[in-house]
Amino acid sequence: MGQVKSLADLRKIKESLQEKMSLREKSNNPESLVQVRVAMATCGIASGAKQVMDFFMEEFDKRNIQAVVTQTGCMGYCFAEPTVEVTLPGQEPIVFGYVDSKKADDIIEKYVKNGELVDGIIPVNYQTIEKK
Amino acid sequence: MMKDFAMHLMDIVQNSISAGADLIEVLIRESVKDDTLTLTIIDNGKGIPSDLLEKVTDPYITSRTTRKVGLGLPLLKQHAESTGGYLKILSTEGNGTKVIGNFGLTHFDRQPLGDISGTIVLLAAANVKIRFVYEHITDAGEFKFDTKEVNEMLEGMSISEAQVMKFLKEMINENLKEIKISG
């Protein structure tokens, strides 16, 4: 029987991580972060948004991509849940619908890595010239 | 339809986050003797005005503007009542909100607890500025998890680091196993 983990064990993880992180931070500047926002309202949760968010968090770490994954509310696209808004550095955010782990994998490999668009984009409303 | 308690939890906590809370407490209490399971979520957000409080479990009432329905609380209420329990919401404007869901522990229609640890850790990682306290009490003992303590231990490192999240999930799961939580 192993001993049950406690917060004290966290210290070891922290120390080993700190070495890794100092290497990482030197090679990257903070503005180059990819931002992913997963819609987490009733509609999103019921269609599996948590699994999608778990997937993004784990895979960004595994594939060594520096990204911030956060949650947002319902954007009104309940029919297309789970929806994910991806903002690449210096670009307009893009909302992807019907995201599962397979689609999330596509998003990371094609859009995040190469800027290539994948199926399921939800078009944003038109912006008229007058508005600007 | 929510498949488990973890999904309800994720959903109701979003209400607290939208209400601007920076302290969210989650308490799950199981009692074999009374055959009850109680899920309590307490936040220090802006609260619910009294005229709205009576109507929040109406699916056609929501404070949001992106759509006209709000199903989070109605679904929780339906689930609670289907197991012989109830949903109670206490709130005063400016003083936060307390949501109490009471369920029949061994009732056939009670959904499983689901991935509670993953949900708590995910919430904490996605909302680093909010302090989450999670307490689980069973007849065999109790477990308390507080992100304030985690952050003190991390000394500036983010709780959303994948390795940290993985560790916290394991830690919570092992401790929950110790106090023999139900499925």
B38 to each of A15, B100, B103, B129, how far by Cα in Å? 38, 7, 6, 27
Q: Please tell me which residue, A127 or A91, carries the higher pLDDT value.
A: A91
Q: Do A46 and B70 touch (CB under 8 A)?
A: no
Do residues B173 and B136 touch, judged by C-beta distance below 8 A? no
Report the residue of B14, B150, B177 to disrupt the A interface, i.e. the one with the largest count of A CBs within 10 Å: B14
| B2, B122, B163 ranked by CB distance to A13: nearest | B163
Class of domain A31-122: alpha beta
pLDDT of the residue at B62: 81
Confidence of residue B70 (pLDDT cuts 50, 70, 90): confident
Largest CA distance in chain A: 70
CA distance A12 to chain B (A): 10
In order, the DSSP letters of B72-107 are HHHHHHHHHHHTT-EEEEEE-TTS-EEEEEEEETT-
CA B14/CA A72 separation, integer angstroms: 9
CA B22/CA B128 separation, integer angstroms: 10
CA B44/CA B98 separation, integer angstroms: 9
In a domain, B51, yes or no: yes
In a domain, B108, yes or no: yes
Q: Does A70 touch chain B (CB under 8 A)?
A: yes
Give the CATH number of the domain where residue B20 resides: 3.30.565.10
Q: Is A1 in a helix, a strand, or coil? A: coil
Q: Do A45 and B10 touch (CB under 8 A)?
A: yes
pLDDT of A34-66, one tens digit each? 999 999 999 999 999 999 999 999 999 899 888
Q: What is the 3-state secondary structure (H, E, C) of B103-135?
A: EECCCCCCCCCCCHHHHHHHHHHHCCCCEEEEE
CA B154/CA A50 separation, integer angstroms: 25
In a domain, B183, yes or no: no
Angle at A18 between CA A15 and CA A19, to 5 degrees: 100
CA B21/CA B5 separation, integer angstroms: 21
Convert A107-122 to b/e letters by CB count within 10 Å (16 or more is b): bbeebbeeeeebebeb
CA B13/CA B92 separation, integer angstroms: 17
Name the residue of chain A whose CA is nearest to B73's CA. Answer: A42
Question: How many folded domains does chain B comprise?
Answer: 1
CA B32/CA A68 separation, integer angstroms: 42
CA A41/CA B13 separation, integer angstroms: 10
Q: Is the pLDDT of residue A131 over 50?
A: no
A26: phi then psi, degrees, rounded to nearest 5 = -70, -35
Name the residue of chain B whose CA is nearest to A46's CA. Answer: B2
Largest CA distance in chain B: 45
Q: Is the pLDDT of residue A132 over 50?
A: no
CA B133/CA B127 separation, integer angstroms: 13
Identify how many contiguous H helices and E strands chain A contains and give both numbers: 5, 5
Residues sharing a CB contact under 8 Å with residue B111, sequence separation 6 or more, in sequence order: B2, B3, B4, B5, B79
Domain extent at residue B124 = 5-178
Half-sphere exposure of A6 (CA within 13 A, CB side): 4
ipTM of the predicted structure?
0.82
- Most confident listed range (A67-76, B82-91, B156-165): B82-91
Considering only A17-31, A72-86, B61-75, B77-91, which range has the smallest mean pLDDT? A17-31
pLDDT of B104-157, one tens digit each? 999 999 999 999 999 999 999 999 999 999 999 999 999 999 999 999 988 888
Q: Is the pLDDT of residue A78 over 80?
A: yes
The domain limits of chain A are 31-122
Name every chain A residue with its beta carbon within 8 A of the beta carbon of B119: 50
The length of chain B, given as a count of residues: 183
Residue closest to B18 by CA, chosen among B99, B104, B127 = B127
pLDDT of B2-42, one tens digit each? 889 999 999 999 999 999 999 999 999 999 999 999 999 99
Residue closest to A50 by CA, chosen among A93, A87, A99 = A99
- In this complex, how many residue pairs, one in chain A and one in chain B, have their CB atoms less than 8 Å apart? 103
Convert B100-132 to b/e letters by CB count within 10 Å (16 or more is b): bbbbbbeeeebbebbbbbbbbbbbbbbbeebbb
Q: Is the pLDDT of residue A118 over 80?
A: yes
